Amino acid sequence: MRHWPDEGVSRIPYWVYTDPDVFQLEQERIFRGPSWSYVALSCEIPEAGDFIRTSVGETPVVVVRDKGGSIRVLVNRCAHRGAQFCREPHGNTTTFECPYHQWSYALDGRLLGVPFKKGLDGQGGMPADFENADHGLETLQVTMRNGVVFASLSDDVEPFEDYLGDTMAEYFDRVFDGRELHVLGYLRQRLPCNWKLMFENIKDPYHATLLHVFLVTFGLFRADQPSATRMDKTGRHSVLVSSRGAQTDSSITRSLRSYREGFELQDPNLLTPVREFPGAPTVVMQTLWPNLIVQQQSNTLAMRQMVPRGPAAHDLHWTFFGYADDTEEMTAIRLRQANLMGPAGFVSIDDGEIMRLSQDGVAADVNRSGVAEMGGRDTDDQDHMVTEAAIRAFYAHYREVMGL
């Protein structure tokens, strides 16, 4: 296997973004390992039999509510010969049936029926000792916190509360406070870069104050605003927290090269945030190992789920949501502010484009390394955004899990 640079996590070797063997090891140790992957919001499948298709790492899964109201997560692979039995992206059903040989399964994954099990006119059929109970679908561990569903392919995963940790739970529960959630819609994009570059992007507040001219210009995210970077005790999860300032022509903002003086919106409704969460922060971006970003920028809320597609690409699935008790006006505000985010977002366009440049750059010479020394070389919490500490903390945990 590869050798990590001697400097430690202040260097990121470029082969982590390109090496197919590293990618396969990530699938085994991270996505199929003892981690909790985000799979759905509970409100997406409110009734018994409701299901959606999604993925845990590269493993296709079906998230379904069973007859008793419990949420089950099943690997979307027939126990017979491996065909993906579920092709519909969402729907409602009483059983799952593989189209190939019509093996049918209960919503909890039990094998219910096998055509020709006893043969036809005394010919064929399964061996006498074939037991349906031995051939159910592979199922995942499932946990739910305030309407958000996570699943794990590993039986050794720790309880979700321990996995999340107290600090992360506090920020998580800020948005998921137990109120019923309501999905506003989906956006999805295929990003031509390794999945870790997406995580790094969100764990790096420093880039946002420079690259995202829109955010800086309108005071939504700026280096001179009160902010913090916090990690859990393992370093695998993190939050970036910041408080919105006014669009002011102060000497500080004028000195920022990213600030566009005199640019005013024709229709200010686009950016009229309403205070709805306790405390000063107006932006909380939380990354939860290994596949989720929880976005709260002003009033636009979204789950961003990462699905790796080989070392050089990943899909980003955005589920925008509000609360079931939102007023019509609040829903309208959330829908407007969604202009900032997604594949056509004033902010996110920059990220999709820059990550393509990153992947193209690193792939050209994988024996080199990136430098992550902003804010020092350690992995501690910081009370500002001029730091790459959360990236270093992420890679400290990554190296441990991967044995690199």
Partner 1 sequence: MTPDDLFAAHGDLLDESRLDEWIDLFTDDCLYLVIPRENVERGLPLAAIRCESRGYLKDRVVAVRETSMYAPRSQRHVIGASRKQPDGAMTASYAVFQTLTDEPTTVFSTGRYVARIIEGRFAELRCIYDSTLVDNSIVQPL
Peptide bond connecting 127 to the previous residue in cis, omega within 30 degrees of 0: no
The DSSP output letter for 26 is H
Binding of residue 346 to partner 1 (CB under 8 A): yes
CB of 346 to partner 1, least distance (A): 5
CB 387 within 8 Å of CB 380: no
Q: Identify the residue among 84, 143, 167, 189 touching partner 1 (CB under 8 A).
A: 189
Tell me which residues in 132-151 interact with partner 1 (CB under 8 A). Answer: none
Binding of residue 63 to partner 1 (CB under 8 A): no
Tell me which residues in 70-89 interact with partner 1 (CB under 8 A). Answer: 89
Binding of residue 206 to partner 1 (CB under 8 A): no
Binding of residue 357 to partner 1 (CB under 8 A): yes
Q: Identify the residue among 315, 363, 380, 381 touching partner 1 (CB under 8 A).
A: 315
Residues 6 or more apart whose Cβ sits within 8 Å of residue 78: 84, 85, 98, 100, 103, 137
Binding of residue 363 to partner 1 (CB under 8 A): no
Print burial letters for 245-273: b (CB count within 10 Å at least 16), e (below 16): bebeeeeebeebebbeeeeeeeeeeebee
CB of 205 to partner 1, least distance (A): 17
Binding of residue 219 to partner 1 (CB under 8 A): no
Degrees to nearest 5, angle at CA 72 with 66 and 77: 110
Contacts 24+ apart (CB under 8 A), 64-68: 64/93, 64/107, 65/107, 66/106, 66/107, 66/108, 67/107
Q: What is the C-alpha to C-alpha distance for residues 254 and 393, in angstroms, rounded to an integer?
A: 33
Binding of residue 214 to partner 1 (CB under 8 A): yes
Q: Identify the residue among 339, 363, 369, 377 touching partner 1 (CB under 8 A).
A: 339
Helix (H, G, I), strand (E, B), or coil: what is residue 186? strand
Binding of residue 350 to partner 1 (CB under 8 A): yes
Pairing of strands 71-75, 37-41: unpaired
CB 250 within 8 Å of CB 215: no
Q: Identify the residue among 18, 35, 209, 217 touching partner 1 (CB under 8 A).
A: 217
Whose Cβ is closer to partner 1: residue 114's or residue 223's? 223
Show the site string, 265-304: x = touches partner 1 by CB under 8 A, - = not: xxx-xx----------------------------------
Whose Cβ is closer to partner 1: residue 100's or residue 263's? 263
Q: What is the C-alpha to C-alpha distance for residues 124 and 149, in angstroms, rounded to an integer?
A: 43
Whose Cβ is closer to partner 1: residue 183's or residue 371's? 183
Q: Pick from 239, 238, 381, 245: which is nearest to 296 by CA?
A: 239
Q: What is the C-alpha to C-alpha distance for residues 66 and 360, in angstroms, rounded to an integer?
A: 45
Q: Identify the residue among 166, 173, 353, 383 touching partner 1 (CB under 8 A).
A: 353
Residues binding partner 1: number (CB under 8 A): 43
Binding of residue 93 to partner 1 (CB under 8 A): no
Binding of residue 320 to partner 1 (CB under 8 A): yes
A 10 A CB-CB count for 385 gives: 25
Binding of residue 324 to partner 1 (CB under 8 A): no
| Structure-token pair, residue 10 | 């202040």
Binding of residue 100 to partner 1 (CB under 8 A): no
Residues that bind partner 1 (CB under 8 A): 89-90, 183-192, 211-214, 217, 260, 263, 265-267, 269-270, 315, 320, 331, 335-336, 338-339, 342-344, 346, 348-350, 352-354, 356-357
